[in-house]
Amino acid sequence: MSTWTVGPVSVTRIEEQLGFGSFPPEEYFSGFEREVLERHLGWLVPDHYVPAENALITSVHSWLIRTPKHTILLDCCAGNHKDRPWWPRFHQLETPFLERLRAAGTRPEDIDIVLCTHLHADHIGWNTVLKDGRWVPTFPNAKYLFSRIENDFWDPRINIALSEDPARKVAYRDSVLPVVEAGQAQLVEGSHAIDDLLLVEPAPGHTSGHVLLKLRAGGGGVFCGDVLHHPLQIYAPHWNSQFCMQPDEARTTRRRVLEHCAESGALLFPTHFGAPHVAAIAAAGGAFSARFVLGA
């Protein structure tokens, strides 16, 4: 378990799973160029790519952010006991995620705020746990922040076009709706300040209501959710994942985030990068590069 310190804020990675992604790079990335991957094999292997398997290494983790005022959990992985037969990597999991959270010194009751950058199944699962046959909020004292645009898109009661999509309907109903019904959800629009150190901002493209979190302390940080899925996208920001719903907007947002990190020195905290998970970004000649930053 690794922790990064940024000014008065500590950031701890809480792992759910780490391993091969579900798709080879040719299928995972739109616009994939094999020569770009081969140019970077020296640092990609073994933490980000395994040549013998032609497999990308991807992580699924949450960020535990502790400021002087708040304890925040950003993105909630896939969760245990969730019915996801269409996605074997996330189907009926039994992971020690909550034990890892406690090992980091935080109980579910200690979380003040949960922020989901978007409402895909691998970012909302631990929003809820199964108790006496019912899905209930995992973090009983937390306010859960969801983008209103995102919520209204994925809620099958609002977006009738999605109401017959079983994957989306099931994930929303077991991992978001119980939070809404418990009165713990807060739908945010535009920029939203959590406190003087943390600012939620729109980051559309991967999904229409995707948001990111900026840390305004020390050198700064950006918790980018799925704006970037894999460190190769730092070197090829024109590559989208196959899951980016608005391709042109996703590329624009990705470049904007990388430019901000390069100009400000803010660390990039993605949700799916393999070890060591966090990167400092540099820019030269319109291109970007990464220097990985180890946690303690």
**What confidence category does residue 80 fall into, taking pLDDT thresholds of 50, 70 and 90?**
very high
Beta bridge partners of 223: 213, 269
Give the tens place of pLDDT for each residue, 99-141. Answer: 999 999 999 999 999 999 999 999 999 999 999 999 999 999 9
Domain that holds residue 285: 3-292
- Mean pLDDT for the chain? 96
Nearest CA to 260 among 197, 212, 189?
212
Nearest CA to 62 among 223, 296, 228?
223
- The answer for residues whose C-beta is within 8 angstroms of residue 192's C-beta and 6 or more apart is 145, 199, 200
Which residue has 């629009």 as its token pair?
189
Nearest CA to 128 among 187, 186, 172, 188?
172
pLDDT of residue 167: 76
Q: Which of 43-52, 164-173, 183-192 shows the lowest per-residue confidence on average (mean pLDDT)? A: 164-173
CB 12 within 8 A of CB 5: no
Give the tens place of pLDDT for each residue, 219-238. Answer: 999 999 999 999 999 999 99
C-alpha count within 13 angstroms, C-beta hemisphere, residue 68:
6
Examine the pLDDT at 159 and tell me if it is beyond 70. Answer: yes
For residue 56, give both structure tokens. Answer: 């990308």
Neighbour tally for 160: CB within 10 Å: 8
Beta bridge partners of 219: none
CATH number of the structural domain spanning residue 92: 3.60.15.10
Give the tens place of pLDDT for each residue, 186-197. Answer: 999 999 999 999
**What confidence category does residue 163 fall into, taking pLDDT thresholds of 50, 70 and 90?**
low
In single-letter form, the type of residue at position 231 comes to P
Nearest CA to 61 among 87, 91, 96?
96
**What confidence category does residue 164 fall into, taking pLDDT thresholds of 50, 70 and 90?**
low
DSSP state of 4: E
Neighbour tally for 11: CB within 10 Å: 23
**What confidence category does residue 160 fall into, taking pLDDT thresholds of 50, 70 and 90?**
confident
- pTM (predicted TM-score): 0.95
Q: Write the Ramachandran bin of 75: left for phi over 0, alpha for psi from -120 to 50, otherwise beta.
A: left
Q: How many domains does the chain have?
A: 1
Beta bridge partners of 288: 283
pLDDT of residue 238: 97
CB 264 within 8 A of CB 213: no
CB 223 within 8 A of CB 233: no
pLDDT of residue 198: 97
pLDDT of residue 75: 98
Average pLDDT over residues 277-292: 95
Q: How far is CA 106 from the centre of its chain?
A: 20
Cα–Cα distances in Å, from 296 out to 1, 5, 276?
A: 8, 8, 11
**What confidence category does residue 213 fall into, taking pLDDT thresholds of 50, 70 and 90?**
very high
Bond into 25 cis (ω within 30): no
CB 277 within 8 A of CB 13: yes
Could you give the 3-state DSSP secondary structure of residue 73?
strand
pLDDT of residue 110: 98
Report percent pLDDT > 90 for the chain: 92
